[in-house]
Amino acid sequence: MTKANMNKIKVGVSSCLLGDKVRFDGGHKQNQYVMNTLSNYFEFLRFCPEVASGLSIPREPIRLVLKNAEIKCVGTKNEDFDVTDKLKNIADEQKFWQSQISGYILKKDSPSCGMERVKVYNGSMPERNGVGIYAQKLMDNFPNLPIEEEGRLNDLVLRENFIQRVFVYARWQLLTTTAFSLNDIQQFHAQHKYIYMSHDQIMLKKLGALLAKPCECLSSLAASYISQAMVLLKSRATKSNHANTLHHIQGYLKKHISQDDKQELCETIEQYNQGYLPLIVPITLLRHHFRKYPNEYISNSFYLCPHPSELMLLNSV
């Protein structure tokens, strides 16, 4: 697989975030970042599980309650109004199009779509330890799918993490939609090695070891690989891991650039590591040197250009 530009990436989204008036009160929760920025790169497939389940607009609000050690989704006024099974079933009915997407943005705090810390009532006192019924089923059905809540996208590190995972997963889907070989997976791994390194170097070694074993079943190997890779990428990339990765990449220039340029690179990476500069600064400097002294391995790697620069994600981490 090459680094050629892909079409817009298909991403699922809670339709209220796109301005659809589907909430219980007939309103919406339009998110400007989703609408005005991510829509330039993602083809959004909007979905509201509550409306798709047959609930009206407007409607009685619903909430999660603990009943007989089980989480149920019921009306706030009438607990006999139980939509738990409807939401589970509607999630299962969407498997076909959900299998075609590369990520999903959910509405936070929602008893249907919330990814985490949704209120669960046990009597009159709620605890924020629940997951929306639809969201839970979605994650159970597609454990590798990058999923995030719109509220957590306000955290710049989580935002970059999610978008990076979406692009990596989309490239994996592109690779595996047609016949592929062990060599294809190994090439994919090589292209993403430095991205993995910036997240978790121990898990990177385990991924490499997985591909080094004799391959008896390619499909099983591929499933194990992407499962472990997506778990790895969920961990936050740290400044120290990025700095270590940058130094590794700098090593490809040691025979080409002057001592002064080496010193400048080292100082820039250290300033980033100490929090004085954003990641884009040492990356831009490395890109400059690799334009003058191209290296095929680095050119094929995604670390220095993990997603469109117009998203400006590396300016904030």
pLDDT (tens digit, 9 = 90+) per residue, 212-266?
Answer: 988 889 999 999 999 999 999 999 999 999 999 999 999 999 999 999 999 999 9
Are 37 and 65 within 8 A, CB to CB? Answer: no
- Using alpha carbons, list the distances in angstroms from residue 288 to 173, 265, 293: 31, 11, 9
Residue type, 148: E
* Sheet-wide strand order for 104-106: 42-47, 9-14, 104-106, 147-149
Closest C-alpha to 13, from 49, 45, 51, 52: 45
> In this structure, is the dihedral angle defined by the CA atoms of residues 92, 93, 96 and 101, taken in order, positive or negative?
negative
Contacts of 294-302 with CB under 8 Å at 24 or more apart are 295/252, 295/253, 297/190, 297/252, 298/249, 298/252, 299/3, 300/3, 300/190, 300/191, 301/190, 301/191, 301/192, 301/193, 301/194, 302/3, 302/167, 302/168, 302/171, 302/191, 302/192, 302/194, 302/195
Are 147 and 104 within 8 A, CB to CB? Answer: yes
Are 194 and 303 within 8 A, CB to CB? Answer: yes
Give the per-residue pLDDT at 1.
41
Give the per-residue pLDDT at 125.
85
Q: Where are the domains of the chain?
A: 9-154, 164-317
CA 233, distance to chain mean position in Å, is 8
What values do phi and psi take at 254, rounded to 5? -60, -25
What values do phi and psi take at 103, rounded to 5? 180, 170
- Rounded Cα distance between 236 and 198, Å, is 9
Which positions of the chain have pLDDT values less than 50?
1-5
Looking up tokens 């590798």 gives: 144
Beta-sheet pairing, 118-122 with 125-130: antiparallel
- What is the biggest distance separating any 2 CA atoms in the chain, rounded to whole angstroms? 75
Structure tokens at 23: 């909430």
Give the per-residue pLDDT at 6.
60
